[in-house]
Copies of this chain bind each other. A is one copy, B any other.
């Protein structure tokens, strides 16, 4: 499998001003095309540094993709650094320049004189026209290795990668490896529990790439193997091990999986939120088509709203407090009855950082589920900051909704 280095150039990356989405974009594209990205590095817009980082990459990779530092201003020195490294001169590409002139004519501005620099490329290389912006790209073939240099503007990078770079590297590197991939998304259990459930047996006497990635509310397993039969076997095993906790082998989100089941079973949902303040409703309405099962919700922040919209007796709030098991239950029941939904969910808690008491500390959250037969409530004590308490509550609510709709 050809090895690949991704180099992203730009002082804004090393000062933390800019999030490096280019590195992720390229990593994903190259991996999907069957390359093995072995290193990604960012360095400053400095001629010596750029030369060094290229040399390091040449030492280990067959393909080097480099972005950034091709702009018109004097701090952009990627072209010069490469010309210096390969002891060559810069050449002017008139085709790119004609395109630049057309672009400026469109927006009725004069071409700034600095812009000429952006049509330059090292004369040992081959230009890659940039139809998506100003800066010319280029590539260099060197000791059977390929160095591709692209602009750092994400939209331009994506456009050029799709239209010209993709074909260029597929043509040059024919011996790529193809894999069978498997992804499983699991909810309701933590990463260590997933590993324990898999056990040593799962990994014994067979070879495959295994990755496990916890994201809020979920654990994602990714497997890569050259053996198609093994992929199918692993899929069956995962299904058997995780049962109801495994919600998809696809790319869909949890809220999408929930939606599909509700629609299929012709059930409806309504939610009443306090501490999560609309986040659950937001998640539920993330997928397109949510209106087929989600009727709506109330964000009952003030007690008066709980009383007015959800018919919760003021006396009960007074006696038990707004954050209590009984109020969560009444919220779930109230929203279900008000909206006429099959399931109602109620969330009340203390997200913090203020508002906690010794008896009801920050992180205490009640999540209740009510259907026509019964109302049940879960008590959570969530560690961490406000955002985490809120997100965790939303994920627990989604998991409860999922468990309910999964029941035969």
Contact = CB atoms under 8 A, between A and B. Distances in A.
Contacts of A295: 301-302, 304-305
A12 B20 CA distance: 15
Interface in A231-258: none
Interface string A63-102: 0000000011111000000000000000000000000000
Interface in A17-42: 17-21, 23-32, 37-42
Interface stretch (A120-128, A137-145, A380-388): A380-388
A358 interface: no
Given A71-B191, A213-B12, A295-B301, A17 B278 contact: no
B386 A288 contact: yes
Given A196-B113, A296-B300, A282 B279 contact: yes
Contact of A29 (B16, B106, B109, B297): B16
Copies in the complex: 2
A107 B297 CA distance: 29
A313 interface: no
A358 to B, nearest CB: 16
A282 to B, nearest CB: 4
A195 to B, nearest CB: 5
Contacts of A25: 16
A354 interface: yes
A40 B13 contact: yes
| Secondary structure call for the A interface | mixed
A339 interface: yes
Contacts of A106: 381, 383
Contact of A354 (B53, B289, B383): B289
A290 B112 CA distance: 38
A352 interface: yes
Contact of A383 (B24, B103, B193): B103
B305 A301 contact: no
Given A42-B40, A296-B305, A299-B297, A277 B282 contact: yes
Contact of A43 (B11, B39, B214): B39
A38 B49 contact: yes
Interface in A303-353: 304-305, 308-309, 338-340, 351-353
Interface string A367-386: 00000000000000101111
A114 interface: yes
A222 interface: yes
18 contacts: A13-B23, A14-B27, A14-B31, A14-B38, A15-B37, A16-B29, A19-B21, A23-B42, A39-B49, A40-B41, A41-B42, A278-B284, A295-B302, A295-B305, A297-B298, A298-B298, A298-B309, A299-B299
Interface of A: 11-21, 23-32, 37-44, 49, 53, 56, 71-75, 103, 106-107, 109, 112-115, 132, 153, 155, 190-193, 195-196, 203, 210-214, 222, 270-271, 273, 276-282, 284-286, 288-291, 294-302, 304-305, 308-309, 338-340, 351-354, 381, 383-388
Given A38-B44, A305-B339, 8 more contacts: A14-B27, A14-B40, A17-B213, A103-B383, A278-B285, A294-B302, A296-B309, A297-B298
Sort A-B residue pairs by CB-CB distance and give the 8 closest, nearest first.
A16-B28, A277-B285, A278-B281, A278-B278, A16-B27, A296-B305, A112-B192, A297-B299
